[in-house]
Amino acid sequence: MSSRQRLGGDAVSIHSATLDRVRDAVVVVQGVAGSPDAVIVYANEAFVQWVGVPRESIIGDSPYHMLSTKEDRGTLDVALGLVGDGKPATTKLVQRKGDSLVWVEVDFEPITELDEPHWIVFQRDVTERERRIAQEFLLDRASTLGALSSGVAHELNNPLSFVRANVEYVAEILKKGDPGESSEELVEVLDETRIGLDRLSRVARDLRLLTMERGTDIMEPTDVRDALQSALNLGGAMVKRKASLRVSIDEYVPLVVGNAGQLIQIFANLIINAADALPTSRSGAVAVSLWNEGPYVFVRVEDSGPGVPDDIASLIFEPFFTTKPPGAGAGMGLARCLEFVAGHDGEIDLGSSDLGGASFTLRFPSVVRRDEKSEGSEEPRPRILVIDDEPRIAKAVARLLAANYETEHCVDAVVALERIDAGERFDAVVCDVLMIPLMGIGFHRELVERASPLASRVLFVTGGALSASDHIYLQDQGCELIRKPLRRDVLLKSVRAILSR
């Protein structure tokens, strides 16, 4: 054996011994990334210990079942697509490690120096880091809610004050018997009361969206104007205690494919940060703007504070980094903003504001707003079945629809199925999600199993939070969902939508 051959063999042994001492699990794969013919040609000791399989059983095996669970294969396929194009990729996957499922951060690197396609994988267990991030996220959200609490109290107390006063006024008039000349004023008072209730409902909705758990990340066409207004409703009072608040929102802004709860969290966090950057002298300013430009929707939040120093500008989006005093935030706000914005295929840029402080500009790709159908078409009155296990709600919803549709109501989804099975005709169903003995999702599954055409014309309503699995089911089935308390215009619009299917 020549000295060159001996040196070459030594180099391979040195490389192998070196990789065996690396803490990351490392495998080298031969074959096109994503191809069923790809096989593992090298695994370091950390990977052997990870999978708990002898090295000789790993070499020559397919890499895919070792790199992700079946449920997470889609995420792996995205990364492999980049590697197949000769690009590096980093992703997070769920893997089995011993008897447990763990979060794993995985780096994929194509090896371009060899004649045949090879790629190398570095993976590390980041479960503890993800757990810490989740815990700090909850702490940061609690801090956010604390900062918003006085503004939320203001948003609740104002409408509560005139709603209560109006109810007491109406009660006094009705006690007198015939309202007489007060009838016109009663209508005005009731209209004001309805507006107040709408405002209270909006605050409850905004808070629910703001506090949505991770995992409820369903993406759908979303109105950014609505999400930004929700964030302003929650955070605006906090800003106004310290500064002037300038708001500029274009009249027409197209929808984006997004998650309303995440968008509200993004905007509320930036608005709170802007307020925190200001002194308490009420001499500062915060400006919030929303506009459409080409195929993008832009949102900008800026302030007149001290701005972000150059030496920390590259750090502010890092998890756990914060310039706030202890107890005022866990340093997850901007990191979470960056994660949510990226999940919307968007971008967030830090710059300097004309107001003198920091400026955060967000850009989201837009989708075309669908034209709504005209309301004046004359058609036979469709028949709507309302299902809610709370009798008063079932009757109230049926009354809201009665001017436009023939309605029936029912307090038991099992009985509703029996009526449908008996041949009773309904053109659509308005169904509560949380009911006993049969839940709304269970009712829908029964319709699907029966191949009933009504399965595509069920409008779900709920007053509570849905689980991630329920969100996924409703999205997969293409079901509409609206929130209680119901507004007549929203209800009618949603019923028209499902009847048009």
Q: Residue 455's pLDDT is what? A: 92
Residues 6 or more apart from 222 whose CB is under 8 A from it?
255, 256, 257, 258, 259, 260, 263
**CA 200 to CA 342: how far, in whole Å?**
32
* SS3 category, 351: strand
In a domain, 377, yes or no: no
Could you please report the per-residue DSSP string of 13-57? Answer: HHHHHHHHT-SSEEEEEES-TT-TT-EEEEE-HHHHHHHTS-HHH
Tokens of 239: 């800003």
In a domain, 446, yes or no: yes
Q: Residue 186's pLDDT is what? A: 78
Local confidence band at 214 (pLDDT 50, 70, 90 cut-offs): very low
390 & 259 share domain? no
Q: Residue 321's pLDDT is what? A: 54
In a domain, 378, yes or no: no
Q: Residue 210's pLDDT is what? A: 65
200 & 334 share domain? yes
435 & 465 share domain? yes
Q: Residue 445 sits in a domain of what CATH number?
A: 3.40.50.2300
Convert the pLDDT of each residue in 25-34 to its tens digit: 888 889 887 7
Angle at 302 between CA 298 and CA 306, to 5 degrees: 150
Residues 6 or more apart from 423 whose CB is under 8 A from it?
none
Q: Residue 375's pLDDT is what? A: 44
Global confidence as pTM: 0.47
The predicted model gives 344-369 an average pLDDT of: 87
Q: Residue 426's pLDDT is what? A: 92
Q: Final residue of a domain: which of 95, 125, 155?
A: 125
181 & 295 share domain? yes
Q: Residue 149's pLDDT is what? A: 62
8 & 148 share domain? no
Q: Residue 139's pLDDT is what? A: 61
Q: What mean pLDDT value characterizes the chain?
A: 79
112 & 217 share domain? no
Domain that holds residue 27: 3-125
Tokens of 277: 């950057």
Local confidence band at 260 (pLDDT 50, 70, 90 cut-offs): confident
159 & 117 share domain? no
Convert the pLDDT of each residue in 54-65 to its tens digit: 888 889 888 876
Q: Residue 20 sits in a domain of what CATH number?
A: 3.30.450.20
Tally of domains in the chain: 3
The predicted model gives 100-122 an average pLDDT of: 84
For the chain, the maximum distance between any two Cα atoms, rounded to a whole number of angstroms, is 115
For the cut 90, the answer to whether the pLDDT of residue 430 exceeds it is yes
Edge-to-edge order in the sheet of strand 383-387:
406-410, 383-387, 428-432, 458-462, 480-483
**CA 351 to CA 199: how far, in whole Å?**
35
Q: Residue 300 sits in a domain of what CATH number?
A: 3.30.565.10
Local confidence band at 2 (pLDDT 50, 70, 90 cut-offs): very low
352 & 395 share domain? no
**CA 353 to CA 347: how far, in whole Å?**
18
Closest to 25 measured CA to CA, from 124, 127, 126, 129:
124
**387: enclosing H helix or E strand:** strand 383-387
The predicted model gives 364-368 an average pLDDT of: 83
Judged by average pLDDT, the poorest of 76-85, 455-464, 475-484 is 76-85
433 & 333 share domain? no
In a domain, 376, yes or no: no
Edge-to-edge order in the sheet of strand 89-97:
39-43, 25-30, 118-125, 100-111, 89-97
Closest to 266 measured CA to CA, from 333, 359, 174:
333
The better pLDDT of the pair 160, 407 is held by 407
Convert the pLDDT of each residue in 294-350 to its tens digit: 889 999 999 998 888 887 777 777 765 565 554 444 444 687 788 888 888 899 998
In a domain, 374, yes or no: no
Given a contact cutoff of 8 angstroms between Cβ atoms, the answer to whether 383 and 406 are in contact is yes
24 & 106 share domain? yes
The predicted model gives 430-442 an average pLDDT of: 89
In a domain, 459, yes or no: yes
Convert the pLDDT of each residue in 169-189 to its tens digit: 788 777 776 666 567 777 888
For the cut 90, the answer to whether the pLDDT of residue 53 exceeds it is no
Q: Which stretches does DSSP call E strand in 329-369? A: 347-352, 358-367
Q: Final residue of a domain: which of 98, 125, 152?
A: 125
In a domain, 205, yes or no: yes
Q: Determine the length of the chain.
A: 501
Closest to 456 measured CA to CA, from 500, 413, 404:
500
13 & 139 share domain? no
Q: 103 phi and psi, to 5 degrees? A: -80, 135
**CA 14 to CA 3: how far, in whole Å?**
16
In a domain, 275, yes or no: yes
146 & 107 share domain? no
The better pLDDT of the pair 263, 178 is held by 263
Q: Final residue of a domain: which of 110, 125, 140?
A: 125
> How large is the C-alpha radius of gyration of the chain?
29
